[in-house]
Amino acid sequence: MPRVTTPDAALIAPAAPSAPQIAIQVLERTMHLLDALAQHPDPVSLKELAQATGLHPSTAHRILNDLVSGRYVDRVDSGMYSLGMRLLELGHLVKGRLNVRDAAITPMRMLHRMTGQTVNLSVRQGDEIVYIDRAYSERSGMQVVRAIGGRAPLHLTSTGKLFLSADDPRLVRAYALRTGLHGHTANSLTELARLERELDEVRTKGYARDNEELEMGVRCIAAGVHDDTGKLIAGLSISAPADRMQDGWIDALVETADHISDALGYEPSHAVSAA
């Protein structure tokens, strides 16, 4: 971002901060309604919400109906409104991702300096992993193909296998039926029986591998990151050219993932599934 210079604070009085402008009116009205609901611990009537936001009752009612459909707002039998569970779900997702990134960035950089390879932090979204942070440099020896925000199927990635290994077997079978276990390379695990055997190995060893299953010429190893409830919330992985991957990095990878988990308040006795 460009650097912005400001006048000497002694010469002028600081201006009061102005609220950012919302380009789409209905979004601005929606935000006002959510803010108004947040001010009340108990359900609020349509009349009160319209008065608090300055909206016509029919406008407020129309927006609230859409928010109820999306579970962002709950409507109780008496026609009162309160914040919905979808906001709680999203809040937990944001909390977990922000916290894990904050806790992981320095250990990731240290692991990268030690191995010289790309270190990824990924989380699960449905049937895919999403890359949310990365430590790498020119000496990593390979081009980063999937940018931060990129996605990949669970069964083709080391981190994805961690999440599948934490699932109940019936959920793994449902995943296989849902996705068809399509492969990207000749090494991809496209048969449920082979995938289940590998997941058993992941559970036994405590880490997972991607043996050129997502991209030819690239191998990965991953270890899990857990939160204070014991839930698996992220995977820390090392990606390297296939001929450079070293099993000697596994202990450092696992220790780094454990260090991040410790920073999040994880205690092994609290371990639960990732579901």
To the question of pTM greater than 0.75 for the whole model, the response is no
Q: How far is CA 133 from CA 47, 60, 87, 92, 209, in A?
A: 45, 39, 24, 19, 19
Q: Tell me, yes or no, whether 110 and 130 share the same domain.
A: yes
CATH of the domain at 251: 3.30.450.40
Q: Which helix (H) or strand (E) holds 129?
A: strand 128-135
59 plus 140 within the same structural domain? no
- Predicted confidence at residue 141, as pLDDT, reads 59
pLDDT of residue 89: 86
Rounded mean pLDDT of 244-266? 95
**Domain housing 139:** 90-270
Within a domain: residue 181? yes
Q: What is the CATH number of the domain that holds 76?
A: 1.10.10.10
Higher pLDDT, 16 or 58: 58
Burial 40-52 (b: 16+ CB within 10 A, else e): eeebbebebbbeb
Residue 238 has pLDDT above 90, yes or no: yes
For residue 90, pLDDT over 70 is answered with: yes
Task: State the average pLDDT over residues 21-25.
Answer: 71
Note whether residue 177 is domain-resident. Answer: yes
